[in-house]
Amino acid sequence: MHHRPTSSADVLIAKVRGRPQAMVRLARSLLAGSGRHDDARALCLEALALAPDDAELATLARPLIARNIEPWYFTMMQDEARHALYGQAICQTIRPGSMVLDIGAGSGLFAMMAAKAGATVIACERDPVVADAARAVVAANGMTDRVAVVSADALSLHVGVDLPEPADALIWDNLANNLFGAGCAGTLHHACAHLLKPGARVLPGRVEIVTALATDLRPADRTMSTAAGFDMRAFNHLSPALATVTSGAINLRSDSAVLFDVDCTAAMVPSRASATVRATRGTVHGVVQWLRFHLAPGLIYDTSEPQVRAFGLQFHPVAPFVVDEPCEVTIHGEHDVRDTWFWVERGA
């Protein structure tokens, strides 16, 4: 913490320093309460370093230290199939001695994989707390000579400042279940235009946004019917417009259709698309969307596979309808390089 003691909070911080109990209590009350989350976190870390075996302090400090850290950092680490595919793709894509830019470094896993394949890596992570943790992971794996973690938004990176020269390859993982939700379009465009050598490899280089009709196996999670004898359906206009589900929560009711086929090195992605699918008998409650990553020739990671832990399926409810006989249904989609929307149109 490098604040000069100018406010009353700064004076208090100076007063409690060296007394772990008081430091954590101050972090909880005054600092977190007034939005000084970075200071609260730093004071907690300092307190825990002074009293590493104090369980009460650890319990009180933890929510401040891990504030805003999403659970998916942990679930995605269990996606062994993804790690294996990325490991192979990195070995195919990255040449020993090359320089790799890793955007959305997270825990640092892909940066370390690239370093293991012989690259030097600039790993860019915009959340400073996550970047610090990635640095610790890289150090614990003895790779600080090959991986430099830069705590910055990838949009602010400059060659000559953050990278010594344009990179030979890009690994990017600032991803969302709908592909775009974490802002990848802007960072990819910036990287391709300013941070990469001409012809640099991009991993993944292509992503398909795939859709199908689906039956919701747990409609009560998203819509009301009756409760305690009351008709609750008038509440349903407030049901979620989008839900993240697992493959066990839906049954596919059609073949799949790729609505957007995204070349990750191209500037433009069409914003609207449609495709016709063949609906099978049953009730259709919505459109389910997933992603198909083309990591390297022959290496595809499909997020609809049941073992996938790094991604969820996006379920977009539509007005439910029953399919008595197999028929054609058109799925329409739109995106604004952040959100995606899908709806259906039935034939006459």
Ligand X SMILES: C[S@@+](CC[C@H](N)C(=O)[O-])C[C@H]1O[C@@H](n2cnc3c(N)ncnc32)[C@H](O)[C@@H]1O
Residues of the shown chain interacting with ligand X in the complex, contacts defined by CB under 6 A: 73, 76, 103-104, 106-107, 109-110, 124-127, 130, 153-155, 173-175, 182-183, 187
- Cβ-proximal residues to 260 (8 Å cutoff; 6+ apart), any chain: 179, 208, 209, 269, 270, 273, 333, 335
Containing 147, the helix (H) or strand (E) segment is strand 147-151
DSSP SS3 for 33 = helix
Closer CB to ligand X, 213 or 269, in the complex? 269
Q: How far is the CB of 171 from ligand X (least distance, A)?
A: 8
Roughly what angle, to the nearest 10 degrees, separates helices 37-50 and 8-16?
10
DSSP 114-142: HHHTT-EEEEEES-HHHHHHHHHHHHHTT
Of 213, 173, 189, 171, the C-alpha closest to 319 is 213
Report in angstroms the alpha-carbon separations of 345 from 255, 316, 319, 337, 348. 16, 14, 11, 23, 9
Q: How far is the CB of 204 from ligand X (least distance, A)?
A: 12
Closer CB to ligand X, 194 or 233, in the complex? 194
Closer CB to ligand X, 137 or 243, in the complex? 137
Q: How far apart are CA 312 and CA 305, in angstroms?
A: 10
Q: How far apart are CA 213 and CA 257, in angstroms?
A: 10
Closer CB to ligand X, 256 or 340, in the complex? 340
Instruction: Say how many CA atoms lie within 13 Å of 285 toward its Cβ.
Output: 20
Q: How far is the CB of 224 from ligand X (least distance, A)?
A: 34
Closer CB to ligand X, 107 or 340, in the complex? 107
Q: How far is the CB of 344 from ligand X (least distance, A)?
A: 30
Q: How far is the CB of 70 from ligand X (least distance, A)?
A: 8
Closer CB to ligand X, 73 or 235, in the complex? 73
Q: How far is the CB of 53 from ligand X (least distance, A)?
A: 29
